[in-house]
Amino acid sequence: MRRKDDNKQQNIKQAVIKLILAEGFHGASISKIAKEAGVSPATVYIYYDNKDAMLHDIYREYYNEVYIYLGNQVKREMSGEQFIECLVRAYYTYIIEYGEEFYFVEQFSSCPALTCRCELSQERSQLSILLDDFKKNQIIKNVDNASISAIMFNPIKSIASKYHNHRTEEADSMLCDLIKMIQDALLR
Per-residue pLDDT tens for 133-178? 999 999 999 999 989 999 999 999 989 888 776 678 899 999 999 9
| Per-residue pLDDT at 161 | 84
- What is the model's pTM? 0.86
Kindly report the CATH class assigned to 1-48.
Answer: mainly alpha
- How large is the average pLDDT for residues 65-82? 92
Q: How far is CA 158 from the centre of its chain?
A: 14
CB-based burial, 62-83: b 16+ in 10 Å, e otherwise? bbeebbebbbebbeeebebeeb
Q: How far is CA 90 from CA 53, 136, 155, 174, in A?
A: 30, 23, 14, 15
| Per-residue pLDDT at 73 | 93
Q: What is the C-alpha separation between 84 and 143, in angstroms, rounded?
A: 15
